[in-house]
Amino acid sequence: MTRTIPVGRSNYTSRLLDLWELYDECKGSENDNPAILPRDQQFIVLELANAGQDLESYQFNSAEQAHALFLQVAFGLAVGEEAFQFEHRDLHWGNVLIAPTEQKYATFVLRGRSHRVPRCGVAATIIDYSLSRLSLPLTAAGERAALYNDLAADDTLFDAVGDYQFTVYRLMRDRLGNDWKNFEPYTNILWLHYTVDKMITALRYKRTNTKIHKHYISKLKAIKDRILSYGSAVQFVLTDIEY
């Protein structure tokens, strides 16, 4: 659930600055300190439900859960592509949240067909659409308006090195020719490739010696080997997914 407190115009209060600095000191933040905002800055406050821990810090029981989470993320992107020409464009492992669930399946409707995806005890939530792109219909004739962040205006995003995340930014730029208005769902495939790579090489698992874990690690490796051959998340989930 999300609750929005109406738009206001003010400087950040000292109490909120103290809380931001405390969070940054304890957990670290990649965002700018809000103290830099001007006194007439417009803002809204969103009250969000707790969707769990991020993928980077979560400890799975086994790769079976990671595989289930991956399918949820892939189908979520596919539904967004189909409905809104959606690209996330920044789906690093801090932007996938995980919460425990007793619900056995997540249901996704794609091209009129329902797909039931096993949850295996974990529910995925995709967050942070700062760099995302989508199209909204404007007329009955189907004309669309693109909403996007022009990443061509920020070269520093493409300068970082050391993690595959930063390589993906450059791969997106190359695929789009640095024209960020265009719809190019292959960017979602790049982030799915990044996600499955993290699941194989970097995530923490409790039961790594079990047959079920090794089986699903093999399935994740197979996905990693072939996913870049698909042009979109829609194409991937409709032609490749086994669950």
Mean pLDDT of 212-221: 98
Which sequence positions are flagged as catalytic? 90
CA distance 115 to 182: 28
Residue-wise pLDDT for 111-165, tens only, equals: 999 999 999 999 999 999 999 999 998 767 777 899 999 999 988 999 999 999 9
Q: In this predicted model, which residue has the larger pLDDT, 193 or 10?
A: 193
Look at residue 1 and tell me whether its pLDDT is greater than 80: no
Q: What percent of the chain lies above the pLDDT cut of 90? A: 77
Look at residue 6 and tell me whether its pLDDT is greater than 60: no
Mean pLDDT check: name the lowest of 6-20, 35-49, 72-86: 6-20
End-to-end Cα, the chain, rounded Å: 29
* Domain parsing of the chain, residue ranges: 2-48, 53-239
Mean pLDDT check: name the lowest of 62-76, 78-92, 125-139, 192-206: 125-139
Look at residue 197 and tell me whether its pLDDT is greater than 80: yes
CB atoms within 10 A of CB 28: 7
- Residue owning tokens 């022009």: 150
Residue-wise pLDDT for 34-67, tens only, equals: 888 887 888 777 777 889 999 999 999 999 999 9
What is the β-pairing status of strands 96-100 and 122-126? Answer: antiparallel
Contact 153, 178 (CB under 8 A): no
* pTM of the full structure: 0.86
Q: Which CATH number fits domain 53-239: 1.10.10.10, 1.10.510.10, 2.40.30.10, 2.30.110.10?
A: 1.10.510.10
Task: Give pLDDT, residue 207.
Answer: 93
Q: In this predicted model, which residue has the larger pLDDT, 142 or 181?
A: 181
User: pLDDT class for 201, splitting at 50, 70, 90?
Assistant: very high
Q: What percent of the chain lies above the pLDDT cut of 70? A: 93
Task: Give pLDDT, residue 113.
Answer: 95
- CA-based nearest residue to 172, from 162, 161, 163, 185: 185
Task: Give pLDDT, residue 238.
Answer: 96
Contact 183, 232 (CB under 8 A): no
